Amino acid sequence: MKNNLIAKTERATDQGRIAPVGREGDFTSGEIATGRRLFAGPWDFIAAAGSLAALPAMRGVEIAFAGRSNVGKSSLINALTGRHALARISHTPGRTQELIFFAGGENLVLVDMPGYGYAAAAKTKIKAWTALIHAFLQGRANLARVYVLVDARHGLKPNDDDILRTLDRAAVNYQIVLTKADKVKEGERAAVLATTSAALAQHPAAYPEVLVTSAHTGAGMPELRAAIARLLKERAVA
């Protein structure tokens, strides 16, 4: 079974034991090492697109990181690639205002997306960003997976549901990643993990398992790298 790392975490939680974040679960040490190598090479900025017309030509396998404003998308990309400032982060929401494309080894392209739900931005901007996000997620043929990031303190919000529905409709496979796990106590994290996992039953294109990560501590990064390496391998064979 693909990528059932967190199924184990959930089982452990069901049994009343709180599993540590970032456990290596179902990945072999070889897969973890392959994931590490995949992300250890050079990463380059290739394009920033504020509209569909500005999108770069499709190349390689794209993996996008979507989520509410300030959830930690850019930070996760930096943590995955081991760079401090590949993607720009900020203490104020609304930092990433375009789709930003980064190319790494083995044809892998990471896409940092603008956040949705940023209430302080001008209405016209919010509308344009939201339209761009939805259009990109529905219409990009080489988009292999979307990681939808959700704050481990807050769980899914109504505007996350809009994105999940778009992905379901477009049949783009996606997985929920809880972020900022370092900011919540184990009990809270388990509760959010349980409600988030339960909500996914309504979403056919979602992986049933939820990943738990922290860009600050690095928890979950080896597994996320291994999962992406596994996806690339599957694509290469297909």
Ligand X SMILES: Nc1nc2c(ncn2[C@@H]2O[C@H](COP(=O)(O)OP(=O)(O)OP(=O)(O)O)[C@@H](O)[C@H]2O)c(=O)[nH]1
Pick the closer one to ligand X by CB: 200 or 212.
212
Closest CA to 76 of 26, 39, 42, 105: 39
Residue 179 touches which of ligand X, Mg ion, none (Cβ within 5-8 Å per kind): ligand X
Instruction: Tell me how far apart the 2 most distant CA atoms of the chain are, in Å.
Output: 51
**77 vs 62: CA distance, rounded Å:** 13
Instruction: Indicate the residue type of 215.
Output: A
Closest CA to 86 of 40, 36, 43: 43
Min CB(150)–ligand X separation in Å: 11
- Here the tokens at position 58 are 């499709």
- Contact pick of 216, 230, 233, 235 for ligand X (by CB under 6 A): 216
Instruction: Please identify, among the stretches 40-48, 89-97, 130-138, 230-238, the one whose residues bind ligand X according to the rule CB under 6 A.
Output: 89-97
SS3 6: helix
Pick the closer one to ligand X by CB: 168 or 182.
182
- Contact pick of 19, 61, 66, 71 for ligand X (by CB under 6 A): 71
- Here the tokens at position 116 are 């949705």
Phi, psi of 74 (to 5 degrees): -65, -40
Min CB(48)–ligand X separation in Å: 12
Min CB(234)–ligand X separation in Å: 27
Min CB(90)–ligand X separation in Å: 5
Segment 188 to 207, residues that bind ligand X, using CB under 6 A? none
SS3 166: helix
SS3 90: coil
Residue 182 touches which of Mg ion, ligand X, none (Cβ within 5-8 Å per kind): ligand X
91 touching ligand X, by CB under 6 A? yes
SS3 88: coil
Which residue, judged by CB position, is nearest to Mg ion in the bound state?
A: 96
Interface residues toward ligand X, by CB under 6 A: 67, 69-75, 89-91, 93-96, 114-115, 179-180, 182-183, 214-216
